[in-house]
């Protein structure tokens, strides 16, 4: 496209032809755009009358303007962040001599186009008015929109091992896979009984599930947190106590490489971004940003759970441990692995078999989870509604809501709405730039 435009410009300079015609083409001096509360007006400045065609495309939403026998001589405008309809503009050459202008849209629109003859201030113009497609066709007063539906938090509860994999075996024959399934069920029961929360059992019977499948189950249910329950073992039977693990930096790095390698085979969503549409460098940056935010949240949640387990007695480590466990490697779900006790220690093996201790473990883990989500509730959940941050309380009545679409990034949303990125994060209680398709964001008013 650039070399063709350069060729045309060179011919104009050499031959001194009028800018209004070149091989029958009509010059497009540029375009202007004005946005208001009800519609956006897009005006194309022309050197003469022109034949045009306007049509809409979806997934993503676009408006295409084809100008027959035209060439672009000026620049296209940049839409403002307040524009409700247009996110960006681009142009290209079509069928050799035609000019195509594409308006990338923020929502489906209705478009009306008409031409204006020259006047004392302007030459020929093509005017296109865009209005929301969902706007009411009549003038009756609109009813207040119902508040967005709040959802429950989804906690994926993973009982380690299972089936042909018994896990560790205690001195008296207690199998890890059996004990952790009992504790996982008790935890899930408590989660379901807590208002605003719902549990998804990754394994609810004695069957083998691969580590990767466990991640996929959690992602399929769009889990907000992944908790894997285990019972540790060591060759020294004196070792005892609980531990909580999150993903290590080394494990994250190796996993990022794996996700990049697989991006051609699957459309994994990293904050709503399809990796298949991105080159290796951008994909790695997006994955790293998502992983950093996820690991940070995982550490916060794990610290809450470890603090509650300390109330039950001795812990093996006083701080969160990090390792490259495959089951913790989902880049978009905060995850932790809880080693409830050392099944290789005879005393702890005995405690793990006691119903009272199993109940205490499940309750402690639940309390840590509730405390974590009380401080970091995902937007759109019942927890976010019942525990608003100070900034959310200060939001004005002019705030609006935006439902995230596939392909959106937080920085693009902030730029399009002319909002400071840090303010957008704080208002929606986001700990990083991780977002997901379908999530509703609060956009502060002016």
User: Percent helix, strand and coil across the chain, each rounded to 5?
Assistant: 35, 30, 40
Are residues 268 and 259 in contact, defined by beta-carbon separation less than 8 angstroms?
yes
Instruction: Enter the pTM of the model.
Output: 0.52
The residue ranking higher by pLDDT, 290 or 218, is: 218
The CA–CA distances, whole Å, from 22 to 1, 31, 47, 48, 118 equal 17, 20, 11, 12, 20
Please, which pLDDT band fits residue 44 given cuts at 50, 70 and 90?
very high
At residue 103, the pLDDT reads: 93
pLDDT tens column, 299-320: 889 989 999 998 887 776 777 8
Q: Of 214-223, 266-275, 393-402, which one has max mean pLDDT?
A: 214-223
Residue ranges of domains in the chain, CATH in brackets: 2-132 (2.60.40.3500), 153-375 (3.40.630.40), 391-443 (3.10.350.10)
The residue ranking higher by pLDDT, 168 or 401, is: 168
At residue 270, the pLDDT reads: 40
At residue 399, the pLDDT reads: 61
Residue with tokens 């490259």: 324
Token readout for 146 is 């119902």
Please, which pLDDT band fits residue 272 given cuts at 50, 70 and 90?
very low
Please choose, from the candidates 294, 321, 163, 304, the residue with its C-alpha nearest in 3D space to the C-alpha of residue 232.
321
Mean pLDDT of the chain: 77
Least confident of 21-30, 45-54, 246-255, 411-420: 246-255
The residue ranking higher by pLDDT, 1 or 109, is: 109
At residue 355, the pLDDT reads: 92
Share of the chain above pLDDT 90, in %: 27
Please choose, from the candidates 40, 33, 58, the residue with its C-alpha nearest in 3D space to the C-alpha of residue 132.
40
The residue ranking higher by pLDDT, 146 or 192, is: 192
Strands 70-72 and 25-35: parallel
Share of the chain above pLDDT 70, in %: 75
Q: What is the per-residue burial (b if ≥16 Cβ within 10 Å, else e) of 131-149?
A: ebeeeeeeeeeeeeeeeee
Residue 197, burial from CB neighbour count under 10 angstroms (0-12, 13-18, 19+): buried
Token readout for 287 is 């994955």
pLDDT exceeds cutoff 80 at 132: yes
The CA–CA distances, whole Å, from 247 to 85, 272, 327, 364, 394 equal 41, 22, 9, 21, 36
- Spatial neighbors of 58 by CB under 8 A, at least 6 apart, are 108
The residue ranking higher by pLDDT, 287 or 315, is: 315
At residue 265, the pLDDT reads: 33
The residue ranking higher by pLDDT, 137 or 50, is: 50
pLDDT tens column, 225-268: 999 999 888 777 887 778 888 887 665 444 444 443 443 333 33
pLDDT exceeds cutoff 90 at 74: no
Strands 21-22 and 98-105: unpaired
At residue 81, the pLDDT reads: 80
Please, which pLDDT band fits residue 148 given cuts at 50, 70 and 90?
low
The residue ranking higher by pLDDT, 256 or 27, is: 27
Please, which pLDDT band fits residue 285 given cuts at 50, 70 and 90?
low
- Spatial neighbors of 437 by CB under 8 A, at least 6 apart, are 269, 272, 404, 405, 406, 408
Please, which pLDDT band fits residue 287 given cuts at 50, 70 and 90?
low
Average pLDDT estimate for 117-124: 82
At residue 144, the pLDDT reads: 57
Strands 98-105 and 70-72: unpaired
Least confident of 74-88, 239-253, 284-298: 284-298
At residue 21, the pLDDT reads: 44
Token readout for 89 is 């503009």
pLDDT tens column, 403-413: 888 778 888 88
At residue 349, the pLDDT reads: 92
Least confident of 135-149, 167-181, 393-407, 419-433: 135-149
Least confident of 115-124, 198-207, 301-310, 362-371: 115-124
Q: Of 38-42, 178-182, 274-278, which one has max mean pLDDT?
A: 178-182
């Amino acid at each position: 496209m650039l070399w063709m435009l350069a060729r045309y410009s060179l011919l104009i300079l050499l031959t001194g032809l009028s800018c209004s015609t070149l091989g029958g083409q009509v010059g497009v001096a540029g375009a202007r755009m004005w946005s208001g509360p009800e519609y956006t007006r897009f005006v194309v400045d022309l050197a003469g009358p022109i034949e045009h065609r306007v049509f809409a495309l979806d997934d993503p939403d676009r408006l295409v303007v084809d100008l027959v026998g035209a060439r672009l001589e000026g620049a296209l405008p940049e839409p403002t962040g307040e524009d409700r309809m247009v996110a960006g503009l681009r142009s290209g050459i079509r069928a050799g001599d035609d000019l195509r202008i594409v308006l990338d849209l923020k929502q489906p629109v209705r478009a009306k186009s008409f031409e204006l003859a020259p006047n004392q201030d302007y030459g020929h113009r093509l005017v296109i008015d865009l209005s929301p497609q969902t706007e009411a066709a009549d003038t009756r007063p609109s009813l207040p929109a119902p508040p967005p539906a709040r959802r429950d938090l989804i906690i994926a509860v993973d009982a380690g091992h299972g089936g042909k994999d018994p896990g560790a075996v205690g001195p008296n024959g207690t199998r890890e896979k059996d004990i952790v399934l009992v504790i996982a069920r008790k935890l899930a029961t408590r989660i379901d009984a807590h208002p605003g929360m719902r549990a998804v059992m990754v394994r609810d019977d004695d069957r083998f599930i691969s580590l990767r499948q466990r991640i996929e189950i959690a992602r399929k249910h769009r889990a907000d947190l992944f908790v894997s329950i285990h019972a540790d073992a060591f060759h020294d039977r004196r070792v005892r106590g609980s531990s909580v693990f999150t993903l290590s930096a080394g494990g994250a790095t190796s996993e990022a490489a794996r996700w990049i390698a697989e991006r051609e085979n699957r459309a994994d969503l990293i904050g709503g971004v399809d990796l298949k549409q991105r080159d290796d460098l951008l994909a790695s940056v997006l994955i790293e940003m998502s992983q950093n935010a996820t690991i940070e949240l995982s550490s916060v949640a794990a610290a809450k759970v470890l603090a509650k387990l300390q109330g039950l007695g001795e812990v093996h480590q006083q701080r969160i441990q990090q390792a490259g466990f495959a089951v913790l490697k989902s880049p978009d779900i905060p995850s932790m692995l809880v080693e409830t006790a050392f099944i290789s220690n005879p005393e702890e093996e005995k405690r793990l078999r006691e119903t009272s201790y199993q109940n205490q473990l499940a309750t402690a883990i639940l309390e840590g989870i509730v405390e974590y989500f009380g401080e970091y509730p995902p937007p759109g959940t019942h927890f976010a509604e019942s525990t608003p941050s100070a900034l959310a309380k200060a939001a004005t009545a002019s705030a609006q809501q935006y439902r995230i679409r596939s392909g959106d990034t937080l920085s693009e949303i902030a730029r399009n709405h002319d909002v400071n990125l840090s303010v957008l994060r704080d208002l929606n209680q986001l700990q990083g730039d991780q977002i997901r398709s379908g999530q509703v964001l609060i956009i502060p008013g002016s």
